[in-house]
Amino acid sequence: MPFDIALAFDKAKYLDPQIYLFASSIKDKIPKDTVFHIVTNRNREDEPLQYLLSNLNCVSILYQNDEYPDLSSRCRYMLNAFKINPNNPWVIKMELDFVFLKHLSAFEEILDNNLDLVLEPENRRIFQEDEEKRLWRMMYKTMDIPVPTQKIKFRENNEEGLPLFGTGLICVKSNLIDKINENWIPLTKKVEPWLEMNTHPNEQAYSALIFREGWKWKIYNRKFKLNPIGLFRKGEFPSKELIDNCILPEDTVIFDYHRPSWLLKIAEHNENVNKYIKECKEFIPDEWWDLTSTQFREKFNDNRA
């Protein structure tokens, strides 16, 4: 089943190495009928953007968008990802910190006309029982949406909890995009007061919208986007018992590395990942591997807007 790809990123210099790695790994892995939509506030002559466009073996459409939603979240520009004119029945939203290991035609396995979305759960259940119920009740009341009773299983510790879907990779029917663009930012704004409590406002809003609209969904197998963050988050890597778990399984289509230092650890065990890093070495400043995104922006006066 044909699909489009949607990607939104701003002009932050910290993202430049991600763009090069993304482009290097995705080339020759895109189905021929795919249309690639890029929403950005970078100018057309931007070198990383040009590198990305030159590596896409499909039709690409560039949307110049200077709009930052009136939100506090650092990832707020990402909410522009669906401000596109899709060509195919499905759109797959992606993010820059992805590395591609298999051909993306694999996603045709999970796109089903009987569904509206194919999703992933958030990596871990952030809150436990009473606190979770209390926070969901307050946030959903603010959004004027009934709290869902259905629970989902979170991958990091295999726990069940109230639903919270990740927004890194979303497969969505194209005919839902107008409804998403109409509601995602306003709902996120409503739950941002809980941002300091380690909530994920854009994910809470997106999840609530899905239940309010009664959209049909399923969870995709982790091979379609493997997220090793749980292993690293525990601070245990590279202990012996986790090294093998951090070697990417053979059937991994995409993996989401989150931090450059974690990407290097994965590269120690995966030849393809190491190859992509070598291809982009000249474009990646040494500091990028060691600094957090906040440290990098501070050192290089890297303003997103």
pLDDT tens, per residue, the chain with 305 residues: 899 999 999 999 989 999 999 999 999 999 999 999 999 999 999 999 999 999 999 999 999 999 999 998 878 999 999 999 999 999 999 999 999 999 999 999 999 999 999 999 988 888 888 899 999 999 999 999 999 999 999 887 778 999 999 999 999 999 999 999 999 999 999 999 998 888 899 999 999 999 999 999 999 998 999 887 666 665 554 444 444 555 677 899 998 988 888 888 889 888 999 999 999 999 999 889 887 767 777 776 665 55
Cβ contacts of residue 244 below 8 Å, gap of 6+? Answer: none
How many domains is the chain partitioned into structurally? 1
- Which CA distances in Å does 39 have to 66, 135, 170, 268? 9, 33, 16, 33
Question: What is the three-class DSSP state of 213?
Answer: helix
Residue 98 has phi, psi (to 5 degrees) of -110, 145
139 in any annotated domain = yes
- What is the predicted pLDDT for the residue at 239? 45
CB of 124 within 8 A of CB of 198? no
38 in any annotated domain = no
Q: Is the dihedral of CA 42, 82, 255, 211 positive or negative?
A: positive
157 in any annotated domain = yes
273 in any annotated domain = no
Question: What is the three-class DSSP state of 193?
Answer: helix
- What is the predicted pLDDT for the residue at 16? 95
Residue 78 has phi, psi (to 5 degrees) of -55, -25
Domain residues for the domain of 149 are 111-220
84 in any annotated domain = no
Q: Where are the beta strands (DSSP E) in 108-249?
A: 117-119, 152-153, 160-161, 170-173, 217-219
pTM of the model: 0.93
For residue 95, which of 173, 176, 1, 26 has the smallest C-alpha distance?
26
190 in any annotated domain = yes
175 in any annotated domain = yes
Q: How far apart are CA 186 and CA 109, in angstroms?
A: 33
Instruction: Give the CA count within 13 Å in the CB-facing half-sphere of 39.
Output: 22
- What is the predicted pLDDT for the residue at 127? 86
79 in any annotated domain = no
- What is the predicted pLDDT for the residue at 242? 43
